[in-house]
A = this chain, B = another copy of it.
């Protein structure tokens, strides 16, 4: 009752023999080449079915074919933003017959570099990357390497590759201007991961707005955990300089602020207005619903995947492009707007 030992995969040669033809005929049949007599093709297909033959892609790659695979490296797969990006990339790739290697860097540069390296070995036809540190030197080698690279959300500062980004500064301005429109004057900013260019841009947009409105430049809180958020915000709100509005620079900081508000019994939209950067589905479920700047996450994934696929198809002539996607303000209630029925 034992399985008949190592069930080795059938090879093209096996199929050829079984069908009584040469290997080339089998190859041509599989690849839909013209010039195979229908009669012969039938025999080949029968043999394939009977032997349960599956082409070995590794062998194909060796003959100089494309691997039909790309790599995607994001900081965190479980993050609501990156999981949507990843889903879109995967879907776009699949539509073009591509398979995708997916890796998470966990915000660790050495993991990121190792994953890029490993993917390069395989080799992949191209890599999609959300770089942890857009200035690290290793990126230079990656960017000038033989494998096309497109970065998502952030561009590489030490070299030039294609990138697909989002209007960070303009988005922050929309948020802060809306707050100002509500008559808020002491607007603070809560940030995390502020070493990232994207966050820096958002902070810059925030500061720009305050300057233009001749408002005092309020505090920018740089936080790295919920616990820190709680103590730091308690201090801020008990100081003489209590803010009447908050701009949060990404979903993590927005969520920390919401939790902290709960503890401090602050009602967003009343006591203090709140607008966050990066919209998340469940913001509609929170009371009050959170007003936020919406990034086109799926579009980001789709665009970058398409761009990479184009590069792979030989469009390596043109110089690298930075694509910047627009964002939009989704007005709900945490900013102070009335509930609309």
Beta-carbon contact of A83 and B77 below 8 Å? yes
**8 closest residue pairs by CB, A with B:** A102-B102, A77-B87, A83-B83, A58-B61, A78-B87, A57-B122, A57-B121, A58-B58
A227 at the interface (CB under 8 A from B): no
* Nearest neighbor of A76 in chain B, beta-carbon distance: B87
A180 at the interface (CB under 8 A from B): no
Beta-carbon contact of A99 and B118 below 8 Å? yes
Contacts A7-B146, A56-B121 given: A101-B100 contact, CB under 8 Å? Answer: yes
Beta-carbon contact of A90 and B102 below 8 Å? yes
Chain B residues with Cβ below 8 Å from A117 are 54
A258 at the interface (CB under 8 A from B): yes
Chain A positions 286-327 with a Cβ under 8 Å from a chain B Cβ:
286-287
* Nearest neighbor of A63 in chain B, beta-carbon distance: B58
Q: In this complex, which of A59, A103, A285 has the most chain B Cβ atoms within 10 angstroms of its Cβ?
A: A285
Task: State how many angstroms separate the Cβ of A192 from the closest Cβ of chain B.
Answer: 16
Interface size class of A (residues with CB under 8 A): 35 or more
Task: State how many angstroms separate the Cβ of A65 from the closest Cβ of chain B.
Answer: 10
Chain B residues with Cβ below 8 Å from A104 are 87, 90-91
Task: State how many angstroms separate the Cβ of A230 from the closest Cβ of chain B.
Answer: 14
Bound CA span A84–B78, Å: 5
Bound CA span A120–B94, Å: 15
A163 at the interface (CB under 8 A from B): no
Chain B residues with Cβ below 8 Å from A58 are 58-59, 61-62, 67, 122-123
A337 at the interface (CB under 8 A from B): no
Contacts A58-B58, A121-B55 given: A78-B83 contact, CB under 8 Å? Answer: yes
Task: State how many angstroms separate the Cβ of A314 from the closest Cβ of chain B.
Answer: 11
Chain B residues with Cβ below 8 Å from A52 are 141
